[in-house]
């Protein structure tokens, strides 16, 4: 993935085009010339021969919704098979976000972005805290629950699926809550946060990270539109700084509001670089190439919006005040 997102006049060649050129054994510039600069963000190059793999990204146009077995396996390999995660940062990012809560084996944590739950289990392993994992996607939640059970952690790190508008949480039952890159996909965020806030004990912690737009103008940006076209259907990022007043109204003392974009960008680039370096020609069957190109299309578009300064990955940490 390149940091330059300005087009092709300066020699920039998208990741997907470079990958396809490598597979077909031709120079990427030949693909760029054949396709024209105005179509440089997809992988629709003319075939160099009958053996070439053809993957039409337009056929997969729209949000990446399904967590099929093949996509799940691909993303595990992309972000670290041994970590059992399907998002950037491995388990390191999740643990780093929770550590400032200073939770112990006497405390309980709710992770509302469990994913495949590798990070959720690592939080328990490193900090000793009892963790309830919840995942919005039922396919991921099912796989995550099976992994926890297989590791004998289905009591200490149970995983279940939830729907944001129907979630039911026991009041004042958690000492901390973690929400990673999830809120921007929930239409009624304030109602959801109200339920989450009620589940946190006095002096408990809420740490969230979310993709957010820098201003109203960013909503019209083409890079932002290209990213959101690939994200979940309900994706609608809020503006930077929007969560602080909401949390303060819900009784939190917001201690931290920081930009984690550089770290997030580094996690993404590290994941893709490690993945590509580990590929061999034998790995490149039609299914893997297709998954790789489609997944890369999503991350390239998000990273372009991030690098252009239109989107930021923000971290907010609030502590719930004692009742008056």
Question: What is the residue-level pLDDT of the chain in tens, covering all 324 positions?
Answer: 444 434 445 566 665 566 666 545 678 777 777 766 545 444 443 333 333 444 444 445 566 767 888 999 999 999 987 889 999 998 999 999 999 999 999 999 999 999 999 999 999 999 999 999 999 999 999 999 999 999 999 999 999 999 999 999 999 999 999 999 999 999 999 999 999 999 999 999 999 999 999 999 999 999 999 999 989 878 999 999 999 999 999 999 999 999 999 999 999 999 998 888 888 878 878 888 888 888 988 998 999 999 999 999 999 999 999 987
Q: What is the pLDDT of residue 14?
A: 61
Please list, in sequence order, all residues whose beta carbon lies within 8 angstroms of the beta carbon of residue 171, skipping any fewer than 6 positions away.
Answer: 198, 199
Q: Are 261 and 307 within 8 A, CB to CB?
A: no
Helix (H, G, I), strand (E, B) or coil at 105: coil
DSSP 194-224: HHHHHTEEEEEEEEEEEEEESSGGGGG-HHH
In the numeric block, which tokens belong to residue 28? 């990427």
Q: What is the pLDDT of residue 316?
A: 98
- Between 261-277 and 286-307, two packed helices, what is the crossing angle to 10 degrees? 160
CA atoms within 13 A of residue 146's CA, in its CB half-sphere = 7
Q: What is the pLDDT of residue 184?
A: 97
Q: What is the pLDDT of residue 59?
A: 47
Helix (H, G, I), strand (E, B) or coil at 83: helix
H or E element in which residue 274 lies: helix 261-277
Tell me the pTM. Answer: 0.83
């Amino acid at each position: 993935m390149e940091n330059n997102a300005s087009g092709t006049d300066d020699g920039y060649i998208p990741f997907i085009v470079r990958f396809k050129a490598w597979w077909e054994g031709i120079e990427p510039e030949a693909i760029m010339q054949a396709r024209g600069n105005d179509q440089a963000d997809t992988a629709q190059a003319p075939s160099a021969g009958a053996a070439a793999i053809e993957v039409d990204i337009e056929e997969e146009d729209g949000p990446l919704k399904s967590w099929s077995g093949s996509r799940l396996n691909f993303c595990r390999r992309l972000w670290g098979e041994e970590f059992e995660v399907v998002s950037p940062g491995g388990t390191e990012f999740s643990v780093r976000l929770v550590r400032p809560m200073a939770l112990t084996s006497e405390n309980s944590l709710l992770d509302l972005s469990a994913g495949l739950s590798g990070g959720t289990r690592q939080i328990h392993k490193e900090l000793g805290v009892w963790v309830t994992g919840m995942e919005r996607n039922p396919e991921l939640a099912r796989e995550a629950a099976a992994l926890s059970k297989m590791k004998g952690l289905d009591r200490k790190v149970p995983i279940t699926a939830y729907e944001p508008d129907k979630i039911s949480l026991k009041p004042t039952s958690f000492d901390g809550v973690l929400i990673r890159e999830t809120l921007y996909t929930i239409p009624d965020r304030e109602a959801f946060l109200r339920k989450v806030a009620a589940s946190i004990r006095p002096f408990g912690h809420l740490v969230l990270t979310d993709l957010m737009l820098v201003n109203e103008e960013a909503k019209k940006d083409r890079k932002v539109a290209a990213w959101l076209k690939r994200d979940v259907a309900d994706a609608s990022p809020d503006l930077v700084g929007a969560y602080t007043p909401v949390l303060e109204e819900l009784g939190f003392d917001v201690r931290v509001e920081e930009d984690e974009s550089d770290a997030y960008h580094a996690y993404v680039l590290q994941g893709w670089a490690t993945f590509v370096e580990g590929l061999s020609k034998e790995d490149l069957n039609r299914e893997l190439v297709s998954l790789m190109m489609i997944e890369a299309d999503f991350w390239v578009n998000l990273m372009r919006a991030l690098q252009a300064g239109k989107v930021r990955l923000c971290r907010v940490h609030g502590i719930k005040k004692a009742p008056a």
